[in-house]
Every structure is written in C-alpha cells, then in structure tokens.
Structure 1
Amino acid sequence: MTIAPVSAQPAAAQPKILWFIRLLDSLTQITGTTTAWLTGIMVVVTAIVVGLRHLFGIGSVALQESVTYMHAAVFMLGAAYTLKQDGHVRVDILHKKMSPAARAWVEVLGSLLFTLPVMVFIGWGSLDFVRESWRIGEGSTDSGGIGGVYLLKTLLPVMALSVSLQAIAELLRNLAVLMNLAPASGEQSSC
C-alpha cells in the first residue's frame, strides 16, 4: 500500500507523517531491490559449485557456504520488503470483506500486538548472541569455510530493525487512513 494525500496539497503542505512514511518505504525499497539481486547471484554461484564438482572434481566449502550466506541475507533483509509489498501470509477470508477502516484497525493492532513485539524480542534477544560471535571472530567450523559467521549472525538484529521500521511505516500508514490523512489501500495510486 502506498501513501497519497487525500487532497491535492503541494508536498510541502502535506502532513509530515506522510513524508516520514515515504522515507521508511524508500529505505525498505532500496534494501529489498538490492537484496533481490542476491537471488540471481545465488543461482550463478550454485551452478559454478555444481559445475566445478561434477566436471572437474573440485569442491569449495567457501563457495558453498557463500550460497548459504546469500540465502540468509535474501530472507532476513527481504522480510521488511515483503511486509511493504503486503506479501506475508494472511487469512484473507475475513480481511477482504472488511471495510477499509476495519482493515486499517486490524493492521494497526497487528503491528502493535504482533509484529513490533516479536521484532523487539528477536532484536533484543539476539544482541548477546551476535556480540559474542563478534568478540570471538566466529568463523566456519569447516576447514576452508568463510571466516565471517559473525556477519551472518548480525543479520538477526538487522532484520529485526528493518522489519520494525517497516512495521512503523505500516502502522503510521494505517493511522493516517483512520485519520483521513491518506486514502485506504487501493483507493488512490501512489504519489
């Protein structure tokens, strides 16, 4: 869902909340589209791993682990983008039949009661885990593997932060709908 002002006000006269929502959406958009490129790179690297192994009998633990790292990055860094695109799993049986205001209330409550608390739990809960990994410079347990396991583990709080920021954008977007500062989803195209 994108935010467009209800009236044809110039951008400077629009409420700052809409500007802030667009800022958060832009950050998520950049992260999501950048991360999406990793899926293509993963395919190429996987093909290289398979080709090296089957054609030349060469194996590379680091190359194989890089696919795992990219896979983790796609899911962890793509979670906020999926939220922005309204792509998370939802039971649409009731949601589609609700009025725009009722949908906005469900989204507000979902952000406040579920998404944000879970992200705070994951983010806060992972800090000691990540800090310890950085302290010891944790690397792969396999010989020849990637030495940056601490970077992989850092994706946990980064994911929690990025999803939290997008959840705040969704929360504010739906509050703007409830306050008649923005149209409900699908009523007007993006600005």
Structure 2
Amino acid sequence: MLIALARWLDRVSGTAGAIAAWLVIPLIIASCYEVFSRYVLGQPTLWAYEVGYMVMATHFLIGLAYTLREGEHVRVDIFYRRASRKKQALIDAFTYVVLLLPLSLWLSLGLAEKVAKAYESQERSGMSAFNPVIWPFRAVMGAAFVLLALQGLAELIRCYRVLTDRALPDKNR
C-alpha cells in the first residue's frame, strides 16, 4: 500500500519534471523575442521581463520535486556516502521530517494566504508596464511546494522500507 503511494507520487513528480523541462521553450522564445524586438525593431516589449522571471521561477520550483525524486539535490556527503544504507535512510528520514516537510508545508500554507489576498484585491506585480495579476504565479509557487512535500513523503516511505528491511532494489523505486 505505502509503496504504491510512493510510486504514484513519483509519477506525479515525474510529470511535474516534464512540465518544468518544457517550460524552457517559452522562456527561450520570450527572451529571443525581447532581444529581437529591442535590438532589431528598436521597441522593447512590456511583457518579456515579467514573463521571463515567472516562467524561470516556475521552471525552478516545479522541478524541485522531480529533483528530489532523482536524488539530485545538493547534499554534503563526506560522511553520508560512507554510511550504510540504513544510516543513510535514517539521515534522510530525519532531514525530511525535521526540515523538508515542515518547511515546504509552511511555505505552501503561507503562499495559500498570499494567493487568496492577491486574488481578492487583484494585486498586480508592479514591476513593469505589463503589470499582470500576481495570484496565478503565487498559486503555482504554492503548488510547487505541495509537490515537494508530497515527494518528501514518498522518500520518507522509502526510508521506512529501508529501515524495516523491506527496501526494493533501486530500479524499482
């Protein structure tokens, strides 16, 4: 049951990772169009800067869960890689329970409040003449931290399985 949940969460993170990867294309298009418009046409866009930072932040944040799934987040592994698999699972579980899950849930809840307030007031970015409403971007940020928490839960399930001697081979994560 738990491993089925972990695998489903892995698929969700994999889908989020694919979405994050494809977000590079609109980012490149917006950047290239801005350069063309500014230097060839002599008329910079009003929207490219804000679209660029929003797409880049979305790319980065949505990719967090996928990166955790793949075990590619930065870690200080001077001692970690020398530890047994059970000790690694214990370190990981501690990190997920004490840091990752509380922090990602705290950020998600805080962003949910900000989304609601921004939606009610129709708050705008205020960073350019384009000046889009900001709540959809904040909603994506909150969703990204929810995805990170869910992937953290999947990893915690794996740690539990390692600690109880029921781990699957790595290829069957």
TM interval, short-chain normalised = over 0.9
Please, which runs of 5 or more residues in structure 2 have no aligned partner? none
Residues paired across the two proteins, number? 173
- Is 1:29–1:81's contact at 8 Å kept on the other side of the alignment? yes
Rounded to whole Å, the distance in 1 between the matches of 2:141 and 2:23 is 18
Please, which runs of 5 or more residues in structure 1 have no aligned partner? 1-15
Percent of pairs with identical residues: 24
- Is 1:60–1:144's contact at 8 Å kept on the other side of the alignment? no
Correspondence list, 1:39-54, <5 A: 39-54=24-39
Deviation at 1:70, TM superposition (A): 0.4
Query: Over aligned residues, Cα RMSD in angstroms?
Result: 1.6
Match of 1:102 among 87, 90, 113: 87
What code does the residue aligned with 2:120 have? R
- Is 2:68–2:152's contact at 8 Å kept on the other side of the alignment? yes
Indicate whether 1:189 and 2:166 are aligned: no
Rounded to whole Å, the distance in 1 between the matches of 2:114 and 2:127 is 20
Moved over 6 A (4+): none
Rounded to whole Å, the distance in 2 between the matches of 1:175 and 1:59 is 54
What code does the residue aligned with 2:63 have? G
SS at 1:189 equivalent:
helix
Correspondence list, 1:7-22, <5 A: 16-22=1-7
Deviation at 1:128, TM superposition (A): 2.1
Indicate whether 1:92 and 2:74 are aligned: no
Larger radius of gyration: 1
Rounded to whole Å, the distance in 1 between the matches of 2:30 and 2:24 is 10
What code does the residue aligned with 2:27 have? M
State TM-score, norm by structure 2.
0.92
SS at 2:159 equivalent:
helix
What code does the residue aligned with 1:95 have? Y
Q: Which has the higher contact order (CA 8 A, sep 6+)?
A: 1
